[in-house]
Chain A
Amino acid sequence: MPENLFKINAKEYILPGTRACQGCGLSLAYRYALKALRENTIVTLPACCLCVLHGIYPSTPVMIPALNNSFASTAASASGLVAGLQAMNRTDITVMAIAGDGGTFDMGIQALSGAAERGTDFIYVCYDNEGYMNTGTQRSSATPMGALTTTTPIATKQQHKKDFLKIMEAHDIAYLATASPSYPIDLYDKFVKAKKIKGTRYIHLYIPCPPGWAYSPKDTVKMGRLAVETGIAPLFEIENGKFRFTGRSKSMAERGNRLPVINYLEKQGRFKKMNIEQLQQVQHWVDGKWQEYQRRSQE
């Protein structure tokens, strides 16, 4: 059972009226993340969908202090906040850096790798909506094979998604977890846990995106669930090198009831040009990852 099932912080840190799109998976995830981290938190973020969610000056719906910085600099910005707070004797504050897949997999990877290698005491959150969604659904290195984007508009993306979790795990960080807004209690648990741990903590959020993935805004939660149920977005955590499935993925691993990826892909307009070969490749890719995770969960 999720640890905090009946203990979710009732306080809201995001007021109604954000500038996020209808059905935005990020606003749901961010809401629960902030509930878990509570007041004593400073957020830093780059130019991204979250920057839009934070609103247009001089008003913001977010009641947690936040510092916008440039695209490539999120983790370096967090490093600066941590160092500055240390210098000012404010070590009671949790620093959370949060960026999309563009700001993490692509442009922000150097700063993140540097901060993680230094063991910077912060939580880094990547909200992965699998493309440059804020600028209009362009391809990123997190975009899955076979997806249409505005920079792969005809032939679809030809490569698999970058395995960023492996890259982060290779940094030997204190805590690594994946989460989905479709399973908010699991997500909440992981942020509560991350807050208590010292050192670099990385949380990967799989974020369904109605305009970018071309599905109806009402289906965001469903899309997130399908991502988990097909094994495309496995829920797990790695602590001190120990891999552990969590929530829905845990029961799937036990029961062996993983759905085929087609159930997920067919519901999104972005995969409408995907050919059979690509479909098989994606299924094969997901199978391989899942088996690897299963093996590790039994170690």
Chain B
Amino acid sequence: MSNVQIMTGNQAAAIGAKLSSVQVIAAYPITPQSQLAEILSQYIEGGELKAEYVRVEGEHSALTVCISASTVGARVFTATSANGLLYMHEQLHWAAGSRLPIVMCCVNRGVGAPWTIFNDQQDSISQRDTGWIQIYCRNNQEILDTVIQAYRIAEEVYAPVMVCYDGFVLSHTMMPVAIPDPELVKDFLPPYQAHTILSPEDPRTLNAVLFPWRRANSEGVLCDGYMEMRYKLQAALERSPAVIEETSRRFAEVFGRDHGGLSWGYRMEDAELVMTGMGSIASEAMQAADMLRDEGIKAGVVGIRVFRPFPAKTLKEAFRGAKGIVIFEKGISYGYEGALCSDLKAAFYGSENQAPAHNYIAGLGGRDVKARELADAARASWMEMQTGIVEKPTTWLNCYTG
């Protein structure tokens, strides 16, 4: 029996955390994440979820609490947005460097200054090099399901996972969501068994200082240096696409829903003009594709679900038939172009896919962007591509740049 309820993205994330039987939660409220912190507090105080909730005094401490609680073997959860995520920045590196399977929701919001509480993805995009796996969700069902999947992924590869979803667009928008059977979730996600637990029974100093070189322990065994440890983090992330795909497959088997592992496609069978993006803007592009199809343009969408590790191999395949690529991004690497655009073009380097790629920066600070406007932009680019315009400066959509 499916249990479908109408709920916001924040509620979906909270239910995902509850179903994952998290043991320690530490979060600091920030718009648009606040509701998530509130719902989890209610679960715990109301006795629905047996977990410790540490009401920290800031985001840096929120992630620190998760790091240390995870070190003694607990399954942990946190969530934040925008400047809260940036305040955690140091600890994002610490969590990944410590190889802890922490799951965090990033409710995407624009970053100050100047202040905005509205949605874009500059917050999580700017944290891409911290060693976290980043998964972008396109609807509330995917949020709930991805939180559960994220623990399986994190605990398999020993790397933290950030589940990103757009503030307000998803966090505060009600959608029907099927709540998985808790018993099935328990089977899908067994209790966390850490390979190392800091305890008096096995006293050790974790995260000690390292020299640049490898060094022998008291038994004369040569142990990793800093660089070897960092390589192992990279190797774990390189290994993770297979784990993410397998988790997605297994999830679909058990729960009957497949959100795509690393990416997803829409009307891609014979698509020549391929729109792409992450999160809700990619979801919106599906509507734009329908409009363009109605006009006779063979348009499709590749939604990028996993931004780190960057699924270059999968995407090369996904874009195989593309004759033109349009990339919509809710963030930018200032001084260059959208980070996704750069990564995507780099993935195609040296391959036979040399389709022109146009980059649109859209929806910063919550600036409205309609499906019709995505279609208009994609059509304009498609026409330009027909006339041989391969290179094009990054376009700021719906922005008065005059």
Is the pairing of A and B real? Answer: yes
Mask of A51-94 contacts with B, CB within 8 angstroms, 1/0? 11011111110111111111011001111110111111010010
Q: How distant is the Cα of A183 from the Cα of B58 in the complex, in angstroms?
A: 38
1/0 per residue, CB under 8 A from B, across A17-45: the answer is 00000000000000000000001111010
Q: Is the CB of A87 within 8 A of B69?
A: yes
Give chain A nearest CB distance to B217 CB in angstroms. 4
Q: Which one of A66, A86, A111 lies within 8 Å of B64 (CB-CB)?
A: A111
Smallest beta-carbon distance B266→chain A, Å: 42
Kindly state whether residue A117 has any CB partner on chain B within 8 Å: yes
**Interface presence of A218 (CB below 8 A):** no
Most chain A CB inside 10 Å of its own CB: which residue of B76, B202, B205: B205
Within 41-64 of B, Cβ neighbours of A (below 8 Å) are at: 51-52, 54-58, 60-61, 64
What is the bound-complex CA distance between A73 and B67, given in angstroms?
A: 11
A40 to B199, CA, bound (A): 8
Q: In the complex, A95 Cα to B64 Cα: how many Å? A: 15
Chain B residues near A62 (CB-CB < 8 A): 203, 205
Is B149 part of the contact surface with A, judged by Cβ < 8 Å?
Answer: no
* CA A54 to CA B204, docked complex, whole Å: 10
Collect the chain A residues with CB atoms within 8 Å of residue B223's CB. 57-58
A65 touches B64 (CB 8 A): no
In Å, the complex CA distance between A218 and B168 comes to 64
Cβ of B206 and Cβ of A68 under 8 Å apart?
yes
Question: Hey, which chain A residues are within 8 Å of B6, CB to CB?
Answer: none
* Complex Cα–Cα for A79 and B78 (A): 14
Choose one: A55, A57, A79, A87; the contact of B23 (CB below 8 Å).
A87
Contact A79 B54 (CB under 8 A): yes
A278 vs chain B, min Cβ distance (A): 36
CB distance from B335 to the nearest CB of A (A): 29
Contact B205 A42 (CB under 8 A): no
Q: Which B residues lie within 8 Å of A65 (CB)?
A: 198-200, 202-206
Name the distance in Å between A229's Cβ and chain B's nearest Cβ.
Answer: 36
B115 at the A interface (CB under 8 A): no
Q: How large is the interface on A (under 10, 10 to 19, 20 to 34, 35 or more residues)?
A: 35 or more
CA distance A12 to B119 in the complex (A): 56
Assess whether B200 is in contact with A59, with CB atoms less than 8 Å apart.
Answer: no
Total number of B residues with any Cβ neighbor in A under 8 Å = 45
A118 nearest CB across to chain B (Å): 7
Contact between chains at B217 and A79 (CB < 8 Å):
no
Q: Is the CB of B67 within 8 A of A69?
A: yes
Please, which residues of chain A bring their CB within 8 A of the CB of B206?
65-68
- Give the nearest-CB partner of B202 in chain A: A65
- The CA of A64 and the CA of B199, in the complex, are separated in Å by 9
Instruction: Report A99 CB to chain B, min CB distance, Å.
Output: 13
A241 within 8 A of B: no
Residue interface bits B70-114, CB-to-A below 8 A is 1, else 0: 111110100000000000001100100000000000000000000
Q: Tell me whether B71 and A67 are in contact (CB under 8 A).
A: yes
Enumerate chain B interface residues (CB-CB to A < 8 A). 23-24, 26, 51-52, 54-58, 60-61, 64-74, 76, 90-91, 94, 198-200, 202-211, 215-218, 223
Can you sample 23 A-B contacts with CB below 8 Å?
A40-B200, A57-B211, A57-B215, A60-B204, A62-B205, A66-B205, A67-B206, A68-B207, A69-B68, A69-B94, A69-B207, A70-B64, A73-B61, A77-B64, A77-B65, A79-B54, A79-B65, A79-B68, A80-B24, A80-B68, A84-B73, A93-B199, A111-B61
With A70-B91, A79-B61 already in contact, 20 other A-B pairs whose C-beta atoms are closer than 8 Å: A39-B200, A55-B208, A57-B223, A59-B218, A60-B204, A67-B71, A67-B206, A70-B90, A73-B61, A77-B67, A79-B56, A79-B64, A79-B68, A80-B54, A81-B71, A83-B26, A84-B24, A84-B76, A88-B72, A118-B55
The 7 closest A-B CB pairs, nearest first, are A80-B68, A114-B57, A84-B69, A76-B61, A80-B65, A76-B64, A87-B23
